[in-house]
Structure 1
Amino acid sequence: MKRDIWTSSRRRTGAIVAIAALSLVAAGCGKGAKGSSSGGEITVGLITKTDTNPFFVKMKEGAQKEAQAKGVKLMTAAGKFDGDNASQVTAVENMIAAGVKGILITPSDTKAIVPSLEKARAKGIEVIALDTPPEPQSSADALFATNNLNAGILIGKYAKASFGSKPAKIAMLDLAPGISVGVLRHNGFLQGFGIKQGDPSIACQQDTQGDQAKGQTAMENCLQKAPDINLVYTINEPAALGAYTALKSAGKEKNVMIVSVDGGCTGVKAVQSGQIAATSQQYPLKMASQGVDSVVDFAKGGKKASGYTDTGLNLITNKAQPGVDSKDVQFGLANCWG
């Protein structure tokens, strides 16, 4: 386990490999911010689930903008797909070798990534989870994220208020087994709608990995199983848009309500057009910028961040329901991302 006793050649080689494997963004111009412990330029690492999902694209953009403002370097990496733990493990190893002061990460596999996070922390690196808590959450120094349980509760309450006494036949288009963000949103929706797992109103459950094409396939499968579905919960807006495509192809889009989570500009526009009834809007740019600030403060001699920081949430809909707090589409468009 001891890897501290490396030759200087191994150190140089590790740094070269890290820089080749990751995208190193020189965010500062001229003299970068200096860390009090080493006197060298501060480097912050960011590891997202993918580099294609608009949510993570905006997160990266927020981190880059804040790194530039603080005069520090940003090193980035991403999984090849949502759930790609192996790439994230490699990214952590490379960032450790490159001497980052802190790592910001949205864990793809919230349990499997824990040994890598613990290794980074043992090296004195601040580890901050963004959006998705690892399991256990204490395996990161801090979490900057949406309250994903509340995100699900909001859309569940909205759907229940919209349906009233009308019977619901629900399709639940989830993320993937065991991923905390998916579990929290799923359970939150059930809580908000006032039912429990196993309730007979749940006609179908499918995993989508938060992907639009997989969301379409999942909805097609659900319609084959239960053609009378009239309410669709989706883990995120790409899955929601995939579900809408399947419903439209089947001629059922006008009779089925879709609710979701994200608040990206594409999703909010889908609310505006009526494809999605309501979405819980979250703020990835805020997560990333606050994470960068925390690492810079730590590198300059401050304390590591700790605990959970809620980065906010609003329900966006064009058809407000009594008793459910919400914002209109104009607010959503003014605060969307992607």
Structure 2
Amino acid sequence: MTLSSPSMRRAIAITAACVTVAGLAACGRGDDSSSGSSSGGEKAVGVSLITKDSTNPFFVAMQKGAKEDASKNNVKLTVASGKQEGDDAGQITAIEDSIARGDKGILITPMSTGVNAAIKKARDAGLYVIALDTPPDPANTVDITFATDNREAGKLDGQWAAATLAGKAATIALLDLFDDKIVSVDYNRDQGFLEGMGIDVADPKKNGDEAKTGKYTGGQGGDYTIVCNEAGQGAEDGGRTAMEKCLAKNPNINLVYTINEPTAVGANGALKAAGKTATIVSVDGGCAGVSSVKSGVIGATAQQYPLKMATLGMEAIAKVARGGEKPATTSGLDFFNTGVALITDKPAEGVKSITSDEGLKICWGN
């Protein structure tokens, strides 16, 4: 069953509609958010959910999903996060707190390779660790990852962009996550986008080392120029600043890849202020982002499903803690794929997609 099938869309929509708990006020050292009561005679299982921050709608939705699932599985849940993207120290503190508390498992969206040693310490202490959204590098740093295929998400954006250009020259801005950290979600989306465009990426795990000019082979093919790789930190203000830097290098940019939808909104603000227009593609599929597709701010976005990541991860840890079977990776991948769908109101030939109206039925966040 594919995510674009009616039955799957209904299933995801039901899952999203069920998550109606109030947002969590989680930060730094954590928020104990479960009742801790016993259900069906089973002892409560201690689990920590550690996200990158507690303000990005993606992570807020993930926190909501985990809290809802905790009560269903009799999990004593603690929610924690870094202060912002890039706060390795905040995540390390939360991991150490989880070990000290005697938790049975950790769900984490790992900030970078900087938290790998702390994750190893947790696993050595007997905790079952599941990465969500961001596969660590290397993948076996954790027991298993539940995530979007971020490479595929980027490729869908690139395939759509190449087809939409219809042979026109592409003058490209790449607005990434970091320029001082290597994170798999960052290079997989960026490099996947370029692969979807039909551009040789050189080292597939390194942003910015591809040829800056050449031919793209996606769609009808054409010339391309990569103007910039700028880090927007995954935030709207960062996206605006990054786009301003790119426009200063070349005011004729007509295609913008963005790591996520807040970055895309910031990039659009910079383009408008400069009196410019460009096709913007992104990844996430939050309700605000899908609305930006509907309004025309974003041309296409690849939708992922944080509620599914959180609920499946919570269920897996509870099951393992009670002696059940461990989850397995998706065939051909080193993680469990929670799915992706391209959302656009301008479908391109040969690129599978759903409309913004369909995406709004299964989106997450506000």
- TM-score, normalized by the shorter chain, greater than 0.5: yes
Q: Which residue of 2 aligns with 1:166?
A: 168
With normalisation by structure 2, the TM-score equals 0.83
Q: Which residue of 2 aligns with 1:281?
A: 303
Please list the CA deviations of residues 145-179 of structure 1 after superposition, one character each: whole Å capped at 9, or x if unmatched. 00000000000000000002100100000011411
8 A Cα contact 1:113 1:134, kept in partner: no
CA distance in 1, matches of 2:92, 2:167: 48
8 A Cα contact 1:105 1:128, kept in partner: yes
CA distance in 2, matches of 1:41, 1:70: 8
Q: Work out whether 1:199 is the aligned partner of 2:226.
A: no
* Coordinate RMSD, CA, aligned: 1.5
- Secondary structure of 1:294 counterpart: helix
8 A Cα contact 1:66 1:289, kept in partner: yes
Q: Which residue of 1 aligns with 2:152?
A: 150
Task: Write the letter of the residue equivalent to 2:235.
Answer: D
CA distance in 2, matches of 1:224, 1:210: 21
Q: Which residue of 2 aligns with 1:305?
A: 327
CA distance in 1, matches of 2:41, 2:81: 27
Q: Over alpha carbons, which structure has the higher Rg?
A: 1
8 A Cα contact 1:33 1:71, kept in partner: no
36, 41, 45: which one aligns with 1:42 = 45
167, 181, 184: which one aligns with 2:185 = 181
Runs of 4+ in 1 over 2 A off after TM superposition: 30-35, 303-307
Task: Write the letter of the residue equivalent to 1:266.
Answer: A
Q: Which residue of 1 aligns with 2:33?
A: 25
8 A Cα contact 1:156 1:189, kept in partner: yes
Q: Percent identity?
A: 49
Q: Work out whether 1:268 is the aligned partner of 2:275.
A: no
Q: How does 1:1-338 map to 2 (within 5 A)?
A: 21-27=29-35, 30-32=37-39, 40-109=43-112, 111-177=113-179, 178-196=182-200, 197-200=210-213, 201-253=225-277, 256-307=278-329, 308-338=335-365
Please list the CA deviations of residues 309-336 of structure 1 after superposition, one character each: whole Å capped at 9, or x if unmatched. 1001000000101000000111110011
CA distance in 2, matches of 1:23, 1:103: 14
Q: Any gaps of 5 or more consecutive residues in structure 1?
A: 1-18
8 A Cα contact 1:56 1:284, kept in partner: yes
8 A Cα contact 1:131 1:284, kept in partner: yes
Task: Write the letter of the residue equivalent to 2:212.
Answer: D
With normalisation by structure 1, the TM-score equals 0.89
Summarize the Cα distance change of 1:285–1:173 in structure 2 as closer, same or farther, 3 Å threshold.
same
CA distance in 2, matches of 1:319, 1:21: 44
Summarize the Cα distance change of 1:278–1:329 in structure 2 as closer, same or farther, 3 Å threshold.
same
Task: Write the letter of the residue equivalent to 2:303.
Answer: Q
Summarize the Cα distance change of 1:329–1:27 in structure 2 as closer, same or farther, 3 Å threshold.
farther
Please list the CA deviations of residues 116-149 of structure 1 after superposition, one character each: whole Å capped at 9, or x if unmatched. 1111111111000000011111010001000000
8 A Cα contact 2:29 2:81, kept in partner: no
Task: Write the letter of the residue equivalent to 2:327.
Answer: A
8 A Cα contact 2:136 2:142, kept in partner: yes
8 A Cα contact 1:141 1:306, kept in partner: no
- Secondary structure of 1:59 counterpart: helix
- Secondary structure of 2:247 counterpart: helix
Please list the CA deviations of residues 161-199 of structure 1 after superposition, one character each: whole Å capped at 9, or x if unmatched. 000210010000001141110000000000000113223
Give the number of equivalent residue pairs: 312
CA distance in 2, matches of 1:337, 1:20: 24
Q: Any gaps of 5 or more consecutive residues in structure 2?
A: 1-26, 201-209, 214-224, 330-334
